[in-house]
Structure 1
């Protein structure tokens, strides 16, 4: 709100002459009397007067607002106005969910110019006349202002009246919107643990360290999970009454597996006893009962490599250069020697891993030979088909017709030599599969066999067969990928000269880790304080909890984590937490390395790994 008071300049007349005229009137001069500005010109050779306004007075000379000091004479038209703050303001929050009243003044007084003696350089001042009120703020003024701003929702009239009665001068909320209530996503409630549990039992005062792993199991007819449907949210509105849409609820696609069924209430029921498992990614989940392949002795040349679409249980050792590939969990009660273990679920090894490669979850999929070979072969077959089409177009332009099978044979012999190699690798994997083959698998095996010789390529391969093979391969690696379980871990007692990778946690239960590389998408934890970590590299996306790290013999380790690293006893080692690095050379005890500690204590320049 702005209060303007405009007055014209008085011309020089004898009635305003007085004894206070500066310099005897040689120069121009100005005075203020009775709320009027009087301007007089200079005599011959004199300077014109100058004038400026002091806040809240704003001077306007010849319809131009002046900033600072400006010269004037009797020809100029001078007016003045007052620049006041409004009695109140209405402000709206950036999200338009709240409106605020800011009360500056309840009343507005008349203002008059302050009488000022004649001067060649005059500052115009004004003062309120508190005996004359020209405007009073009323409740209706505020309501009208809210309405003019189209603020209509949830107006707090009591807050407005209270602020008028006891002004605070602070922003007061006088209107509020209603936030939307977001939808509730569908969820899957599980009635079984997703990971292997370690429970130690005491019998006769002795703790059983051999039978502490509890594998989740259910009975036939047992409800193992329930899908809860999504719930639609409720809309809200801002202070202007605009509707605010709620966050939509997302559904979850839940399907039963081969040995489960889902009823109308969303309950998933086991059709046979066994270990329940949940697989899938994104917004897709499948709940099923995993079957198990049991080896009552060692995995060796007599058993051959094991490829199984379920859990694998080994009651003995895994001997040199063997492979276990499980589309489920793997439980090994003995040791692992120079072998590869992959699982789309969790892996539990009670014994020692020496020279092993152990991969679970996502890494169990990526290092699964069936997945890797079928995906790579599908890519190569796609490139082969495209190359054959290009070659056929080129030959047609030269009027040199050639059979599709001939082009495929030539391309495989000259450019795509890896195709037969990948085919042989897949056939070798199929020969190790420990479950009944599907029709797709049997058909794919026949097609792969056709790629092994030039004669069979010429006789049996055509465009349709190549594309059919690609379809079988795509479905094969997609089915392996879909078997990745949600919550996985790797549990072992000791490893040496090995590589361990888990999409979840890695748990070291006994002696520790020697000259090995461990990676966890979760945390790495050594259960015993006496467990050692020597000459190894450990990397975790979350935390590392270790016992004894390094040694007097300088078996240095690298421990890297995003959140923190805790070490019970550290001889030496290279510690990395988030972006902070520290080459520790002095012994430390019970030390927690987090970003804050590292920022304060770690040297600015630490040597590299």
Structure 2
């Protein structure tokens, strides 16, 4: 007899078994995970061998899945949105899958139909209510979602608050007369006539508050506002919105914290040079020099200085802008009370130490009062001396150190003059009655920093060429012609050489923002740069050393497109775009 394997098939959920012939193999069946097999009422757990004589005693039990639904809410951190998360499982109505005849088969199922659970609107509203969400509920949208057929698993925005609307900051608008004057480098006297409007304020418009999904009020972001203040030769209209020139002259706007002060400075004109016939010049307003500032004659100006010729071998101090039509040679310039970062850090540290000193004195006197001791026995001066000597010794050292470092002509020197004698001879401290001298020092330092560091009134130097000079400016240096050679420039703003062949050759250039030039370096030595934001050099002629506060790189000669910026970690990294010069050139 020929040996033939048996086989088994499934048709209409019934097994059809054919036994083997001769020594053929009996058929085998096993079930998928969702099916249980029973033989003569006993559940089988593994693959089983079947034969024709048990064909009618084999049963299949299908484990149908019941329909399920899960509803949950996701609430955003800002409490402005609630998302409904729906997870659905359909009820599976299954039947045994037909199988072709084979010696071994797996009993499987096929879907006959699927029934998804229904979601009712009240379930969603109850869920929102359980989380105390009662504002911005999207009722129509919820109805639309739950009326969709089939599987609607997913995330749906069903409640949304009303976001606060930002207002509009107050603006200072310069008059046409003012703007026309700014476009001209050299203007002869009286750029604004008496009685004309210099500028006006557009009022701030407050924003609108919002509401989150819990009905909490969300305040609108604060708007930036300022008070318009009349300075020298200026009067405000009764509504405090317009500044009117009471004299003809040069308008000057000084922006401080929360205040914009408008001044009119009379412009003084020297029709020739500043030389032995004029002597050194000190003037509180604007000065226009139609010639040169010649060797060894100094100029100290309270506002803008405009020189149509050159400055050579001079010391220049201005509290305003400096415009030099030609060259600055072998001169020292202090423009707008430049402060280096280190000095700013020291000044801030002193104000903190004064605050700590005040607190320590109050604690000592307060403790004495609690113990019902005679406070009159506690001399404040003696307490201050002991605290400075024992608890705050670095405060003493820093005051004297900074006083020595400050330039004699600096306003800072006057701020410290009153307190320095108490630190050069500590015994003097015992004579003071209270902490008022230190409170005054702290106030003066804070005002100084506010007007010098946080002043939005950006100063600039405009010149054609600089050589062998030292420049300190609380703004930017804009070089219009050749460039700069062998000089030291420290700028709070930018150092920019506009000319397409302009250079920075030799010297030390420090900018808290950007440095920009076509050519840099010299074959005679290294040229040094320190930047706060960005540097671009088209080509290096010599070795360049570029520093940031936390990094340093050296650029070899004959390199092209040197373009670095400072990342969030203070490191110098290759920039993917050029520095934005527009801000500085517009301000200038």
TM-score, scaled relative to structure 2? 0.62
The match for 1:567 is 537
The match for 1:541 is 512
CA contact (8 A) 2:248 2:266 kept: no
Shift of 1:236: 0.9
- Asked if 1:375 corresponds to 2:427, the answer is no
Give deviations 1:238-264, integer Å, cap 9, x for gaps.
Answer: 111111122334541221113111113
- Asked if 1:318 corresponds to 2:321, the answer is no
The match for 2:171 is 187
DSSP 3-state at the match of 2:338: helix
Shift of 1:509: 1.7
Decide which of 142, 154, 157 is 1:160's aligned counterpart: 142
The match for 2:118 is 136
Unmatched 5+ stretches in structure 2: 1-39, 47-58, 95-108, 341-405, 576-588
Instruction: Provide the rounded CA distance (Å) in 2 between the counterparts of 1:370 and 1:287.
Output: 24
Instruction: Provide the rounded CA distance (Å) in 2 between the counterparts of 1:168 and 1:135.
Output: 10
The match for 2:503 is 532
The match for 1:263 is 237
Instruction: Provide the rounded CA distance (Å) in 1 between the counterparts of 2:194 and 2:415.
Output: 36
- Asked if 1:359 corresponds to 2:399, the answer is no
CA contact (8 A) 1:198 1:212 kept: no
Instruction: Provide the rounded CA distance (Å) in 2 between the counterparts of 1:474 and 1:561.
Output: 30
The match for 2:86 is 103
Using the TM superposition, name which of 268-277 and 230-239 deviates more. Answer: 230-239
- Asked if 1:489 corresponds to 2:460, the answer is yes
Using the TM superposition, name which of 345-354 and 356-365 deviates more. Answer: 356-365
Instruction: Provide the rounded CA distance (Å) in 2 between the counterparts of 1:526 and 1:324.
Output: 25
Shift of 1:198: 6.3
Q: Map of 1:65-464 to 2, 5 A cutoff? A: 86-105=69-88, 109=91, 136-164=118-146, 165=148, 167-191=151-175, 217-265=191-239, 266-363=241-338, 369=409, 371-380=411-420, 387-388=427-428, 390=430
Q: Map of 1:573-592 to 2, 5 A cutoff? A: 573-574=543-544, 576=546, 581-589=552-560, 591-592=562-563
DSSP 3-state at the match of 1:359: strand
CA contact (8 A) 1:497 1:516 kept: yes
Superposed CA RMSD in Å reads 4.6
Change in 2 beyond 3 A, CA 1:362/1:228: farther
DSSP 3-state at the match of 2:300: strand
CA contact (8 A) 2:564 2:573 kept: no
DSSP 3-state at the match of 2:430: helix
Shift of 1:332: 1.9
Unmatched 5+ stretches in structure 1: 1-15, 23-32, 36-53, 57-81, 113-126, 200-210, 394-462, 602-609
Change in 2 beyond 3 A, CA 1:138/1:368: farther
Shift of 1:385: 11
Give deviations 1:22-76, integer Å, cap 9, x for gaps.
Answer: 9xxxxxxxxxx999xxxxxxxxxxxxxxxxxx9x9xxxxxxxxxxxxxxxxxxxx
Change in 2 beyond 3 A, CA 1:391/1:96: closer
CA contact (8 A) 2:84 2:156 kept: yes
Give deviations 1:196-234, integer Å, cap 9, x for gaps.
Answer: 8566xxxxxxxxxxx767999212221111123333332
Instruction: Provide the rounded CA distance (Å) in 1 between the counterparts of 2:217 and 2:224.
Output: 21
Instruction: Provide the rounded CA distance (Å) in 2 between the counterparts of 1:480 and 1:104.
Output: 58
Give deviations 1:141-173, integer Å, cap 9, x for gaps.
Answer: 112211222212121223323332155533211
CA contact (8 A) 1:312 1:331 kept: yes
CA contact (8 A) 2:338 2:491 kept: no
Give deviations 1:304-338, integer Å, cap 9, x for gaps.
Answer: 43222211222333233433222211112232233
Change in 2 beyond 3 A, CA 1:159/1:184: same
